[in-house]
Chain A
Amino acid sequence: MTYQDDKKEGLHVLSALVENEFGVLARIAGLFAARGFNIESLTVGPTHDHTISRMTILVKGSSTVIEQVKKQLNKLIEVITVQDLTETGNFITRELMLCKVNCNPKNRVEIMKIGELFRAKAIDFTPGSLTFELVGSAEKADNFLIFLHPYGIAELARSGVVGMNRGSGGLQSQLQKKLASRVEEPTREEPEPV
């Protein structure tokens, strides 16, 4: 997916690597609250290096505001590195959504069909409800919901967006290089994956 259109509207996907320490999430959320930056979603989880967590922050604002968000994030002691994925133009994002929709014997199949069209997976089924798991872009999730609304949505949970660069331009590989270059060890370029 691409966020080109969102760029005009000022929706940016920031990816940050942070020390996996107590309180980092609170501090980052606090920074956004105190400075009046608008977060659309914020996700956090550990990476393959368990000392590092990755945060994906969806934030709205003009490019000046985003620049300031990045700089302010960079001032936090536990932030290792920050990147505006939107700016790179070459990135992927995904969101996980669980949606429980009301159903009855008459409309069950119809709802299942809609799910199939969106490649959503039915993961729980009771006489009165059907729960889908949908993985994709935020827009895809939004569109899916438009179709489910008429049946009555009972519960909804969305994970918020996670994202990273395509190919070799990732934050963590860059970080490895940066950390490696500090001790002046020669680094080898990773071959571009086909």
Chain B
Amino acid sequence: MSVANVVDHPLTGQSMPGAEAIIQVLADEGVDTIFGYSGGAILPTYDAIFRYNANETRHGEPIRLIVPANEQGAGFMAAGYARSTGKVGVFLVTSGPGATNCVTPIRDCAADSVPVVLLCGQVPRAAMGTDAFQEAPVFNIMSACAKHTFLVKDPEKLEETVRSAFDIARSGRPGPVVIDLPKDVQNTMVEFKGSGILHFRGYERRLENLNQSRISEKRAQQFFQMLSLSERPLLYVGGGVINSNAAEELREFAHRFNVPAVTTVHGIGSMDVNDDLCLHMLGMHGTAYANYAVDDCDFLIAVGSRFDDRVAGKVKEFAPNARFIAHIDIDAAEIGKVKAVNWSHVGDAKTSLRSLIEFGRSFEKDFTPWLEHVRMLRQEYPLTYDKESNLIQPYEALEILSELTNGEAIVVTGVGQHQMWAAQYYKYRNPRTWLTSGSMGTMGFGLPAAIGAQAANPGKLVVDVDGDGSLRMNLGEMETATTYNLPVKILLLNNQGDGMVRQWQKLYFGHRFSGSDKTLHMKDFVKAAEADGYQFSKRVFDRGKLRDTLKEFLTFEGPAFLEVMIDPEAGVYPMVGPGQSYKEMVTGDFIKSRPAPKDGEKVDMTTIPDLF
């Protein structure tokens, strides 16, 4: 609920243009930063921001405006803001191309359950549907991608619509909400009410049920019965735990009942990676010990995770020894969507874990042999790499980064090999310090999301670990960081091409590097950074200079750019191929694997084409 609903608003009854009402509602919602790019159809609202900030008697703090190079950048900035804080990120763009450039971040936010609100201009109501200048069917396009889309046709409902957008974005399973704002609606004079939302009977009732949903005593008994019947319980933790700020409850649960945990790519940070009970990431590029633990467990407890194809590539053989599977999720549609479970609860991770801890007050069971087993797995099959090479190994760069920042920086990434290395080798300690495009896998996410995270967390160290392919995608945003003097640290791991694509081409396409080799590309990233005003812009080739340069880079006061030329042959291991079970996991040349790897064993090519 917005603050405005609780107290009488000082502007109640005042007449103002729609655009002003929009900005006032944003201010009431606590929006301190708007990411956005102006244009014809949104000009009235941009003007309203200017006037709002210039008004000495305004009711609220000034709203900072951060202008990206491209609207997609604004979307990912808002996403970085939202992911790192849990608050709703806001972006504001014009109609037509402005709005369509935001389709990718909107879909990305929906796929990763990130609360953002996009306000986009639209041609005046009378011109809609006439193929007017800068007109796009935003309602249709966005309806297919967002949690919800509004087209404001009635200026009388404008204020309530904006307020409802925030409510919908952050409630239940969070997600992106789009508001399409015809230009004439922004200009229409409205009477400011100061409170009120639109009512959606079904959604409100479902939310209320969700908020009141508690695990009953009987269901809790069933849960603990399964736990007492099992010898090898394992938590399988996803982004739901981060979204509901339940890291504390999760850690307490794990330690209270002595249940080790594996995390999905979005669950990273819910447990301290250094914690004995944390087995780190599972799945396609999970640690070998996490995946072995999944294979060995007899009770899998999924919390805020969804058996995604990168985790359960071969659903039937996922957690094959689990006698029981329990699933806690805020989204009823995730229960049983992929894998049938024995016990489930639809509810928020925080309250669900809390009530299980309460119900289990007197529960005692000794899981020592299992804990010994997972400790052994961690010791025997750790992540490792070629430590003798003269070429810089990306893993080492990330280990040093982790060490120098004590695992406490906010790490943001693009998509590809560097993303997986950053997931594997950085030792995360806290929730919301790992921001990545997991489900959509959007290259180009890193830099703008890091800028958004830095804007939201002024005192914190934000590092964009990026790849040369991903960084190119939104390279224009390099300048945005220096323009606003946001001290983002851009760490480019350059392997001269699309490394993950090359890795798949090596495995499944006979080493034919169609479209993925960039050794002949001309870009001088260091010069590019210099041109964008980076006072620190360096390149390292020499492994011996890696540590010192990284230290210098991280301690630089303003925005900084460091390009690390890495071994282009470095691969991401372990790897469970698409559609394969963990039994078929390959661990590469350096990580030990449990069954002796069969020499020259190749993945059956005939099974690949359909899989992704």
Interface residues of A (CB under 8 A from B): 17-19, 22-23, 26-27, 30, 34, 64, 67-68, 71-72, 74-75, 77-81, 175, 178-179, 182
Q: A71-B333, A81-B202 are in contact. Are A34 and B208 (CB under 8 A)?
A: no
Is B132 an interface position by the 8 A CB rule? no
Chain A residues whose CB sits within 8 angstroms of the CB of B603 once the complex forms = none
Beta-carbon contact of A67 and B203 below 8 Å: no
Question: Taking the nearest CB of chain A, how far is it from the CB of B4, in angstroms?
Answer: 21
Contact B202–A80 (Cβ < 8 Å): yes
Residue pair A74, B332 in contact (C-beta under 8 Å)? yes
What are 29 A-B contacts defined by CB distance under 8 Å? Answer: A18-B202, A19-B201, A19-B202, A22-B153, A23-B139, A23-B143, A26-B139, A26-B143, A27-B143, A27-B149, A30-B140, A30-B143, A30-B144, A64-B336, A67-B336, A71-B337, A72-B333, A74-B202, A74-B333, A75-B331, A77-B168, A77-B203, A78-B203, A79-B202, A79-B203, A80-B200, A175-B201, A179-B201, A182-B205
Question: Which residue of chain A has the shortest Cβ distance to B333 in the bound complex?
Answer: A71
Given the known A-B contacts A27-B143, A182-B205, A182-B208, are A75 and B333 also in contact in the complex, defined by CB atoms under 8 Å?
Answer: yes
At the interface, yes or no: B206 with Cβ under 8 Å from chain A?
yes
- Give chain B nearest CB distance to A174 CB in angstroms: 12
User: Which residues of chain B from 543 to 583 have any CB-CB distance to chain A below 8 Å in the complex?
Assistant: none
B239 to chain A, nearest CB (A): 17
Q: How far is the CA of A77 from the CA of B169 in the complex (A)?
A: 11
Instruction: Give the contacting residue for B337; candidates A22, A68, A78, A179; CB below 8 A.
Output: A68
Residue in B144, B200, B331, B332 whose CB lies within 8 Å of A77: B200
Complex Cα distance, B202 from A178, in Å, reads 10
Q: State in angstroms the CA–CA spacing of A78 and B200 once bound together.
A: 6
| Residues on the B chain within 8 Å of A22, using CB | 151, 153
Of all chain B residues, the one with the shortest Cβ separation from A78 is B200
Task: Closest B residue to A75 by CB, please name it.
Answer: B333
Whether the pair A179, B205 counts as a contact (CB closer than 8 A) is yes
A188 to B200, alpha carbons, bound, how many Å? 25
Give the distance in Å from the alpha carbon of A26 to the alpha carbon of B137 in the complex: 12
Q: Give chain A residues whose Cβ lies under 8 Å from the Cβ of B538.
A: none
Q: For residue B380, give the distance in angstroms from its CB to the closest CB of chain A.
A: 39
A75 to B335, CA, bound (A): 13
Q: In the bound complex, how far is the Cα of B142 from the Cα of A23, in angstroms?
A: 12
In contact, A77 and B333 (Cβ under 8 angstroms): no
Residues of A within 8 A of B332 (CB): 71, 74
* B148 contacts the other chain (CB 8 A): yes
Residue on A nearest B173 in the bound complex, by CB: A75
Q: Decide: A26 and B205 in contact? CB cutoff 8 A.
A: no
Cβ-defined partner of B140 (8 Å) among A18, A26, A81, A175: A26
**CB-contacts of B195-229 with A (<8 A):** 200-203, 205-206, 208
* Chain A nearest CB, measured from B197 CB (Å): 12
How far does the alpha carbon of A79 sit from the alpha carbon of B200 in the complex, in Å? 8
Chain B positions 130 through 156: 1 when the CB is less than 8 Å from some CB of chain A, otherwise 0:
000000000110011001110101000
Is A80 within 8 A of B333, CB to CB? no
In the complex, per-residue mask of B320-333: 1 if CB is within 8 Å of any chain A CB, else 0:
00000000000111
Beyond contacts A17-B202, A74-B332, A77-B147: 20 other A-B pairs, Cβ-Cβ < 8 A, are: A19-B201, A23-B139, A23-B143, A26-B139, A27-B143, A34-B144, A67-B336, A71-B332, A71-B333, A74-B202, A75-B331, A75-B333, A77-B200, A78-B202, A78-B203, A79-B202, A79-B203, A80-B201, A80-B205, A182-B208
